[in-house]
Structure 1
Amino acid sequence: FHPNNAQRVMVTSADCRVRIIDQLNIVSKYK
């Protein structure tokens, strides 16, 4: 277990959340 890997995992999970939020915003715009 390396702190660097943990940091990378946190960044990727945050990126996924941002993408999901962006998709939700796009969907709500078209509704």
Structure 2
Amino acid sequence: MRRFIVIGHRASTTPEFPLDDLAGGAGRMDLL
């Protein structure tokens, strides 16, 4: 049986956070 550890962090939700540049501004972003 395999076990996985999932580590999550809160994303920035301020209005100044550019949604057009998610990959460049935040690095890799995966949704949990």
Q: Is this a same-fold pair by TM over 0.5?
A: no
TM range (shorter): under 0.3
TM-score (norm 1): 0.15
- Kindly indicate whether structure 1 or structure 2 has the higher relative contact order, using CA contacts under 8 Å at least 6 residues apart: 2
Greater helix share, structure number: 1
